Amino acid sequence: MLKNDKWIVEQARAGMIEPFEANLIRHNADAPVLSYGCSSYGYDLRLSPQEFLIFRHIPGTVVNPKRFNPANLESVELHEDQDGQYFILPAHSYGLGVALERLRVPSNITVVCLGKSTYARLGIIVNTTPAEASWEGHLTLEFSNSSGADCRIYANEGICQLLFLEGEPCDTTYADRFGKYQNQPERVTLAKV
């Protein structure tokens, strides 16, 4: 079952999402923002300003998920102007960021992360990823810029939506099996085996 706003608010008060916004925020200090907070059947996460990395081609190298080389990633500068703080994701590139909010997923819930339509209309694809039962931490978020133009990715504003799916209790949660991505900090967590 897909969980609704009432359930999300109740669970957030018990520590599922921190920091938490009970309403969908569309303006900060009289300026428009990409919405974040609780919606009817989901929660719009914000992108942390802490870190954003993009993949750069290094001649002669192949990215290997079993032996990931951090040299293939380059830090992106955080910019700021009257529209807010932002990173630039170059055309036809792939980037990694991290959620500002920390999650504590209940043991009978799996969370699916989806892109926001405002970014989708610009060619930004948020990779669909799950956070399994009893997962905790700051989600590392993956972005692909499929357009031919550089794009701003705003920090401290809505970047993706979480959907909370309830299932029958499982025998072994992500925490029970000591999942490799458990307790991620508010920094990008690289691929590991």
Which residues are catalytically annotated? 142
Structure tokens at 110: 């799996």
Per-position DSSP letters for 103-157, written without gaps between them = EE--TTEEEEEEE-HHHHTTTEEEPPEEE-TT-EEPPEEEEEE-SSS-EEEETTS
Q: How many CB atoms within 10 Å of residue 91?
A: 12
- Token look-up 């979480």 returns 162
Neighbours of 165 (CB within 10 A): 13
**Helix (H/G/I), strand (E/B), else coil: 172:** coil
Structure-token pair, residue 193: 């085996």
Sequence-distant (6+) residues with CB within 8 A of 135 are 103, 105, 111, 174, 175, 179, 181, 182
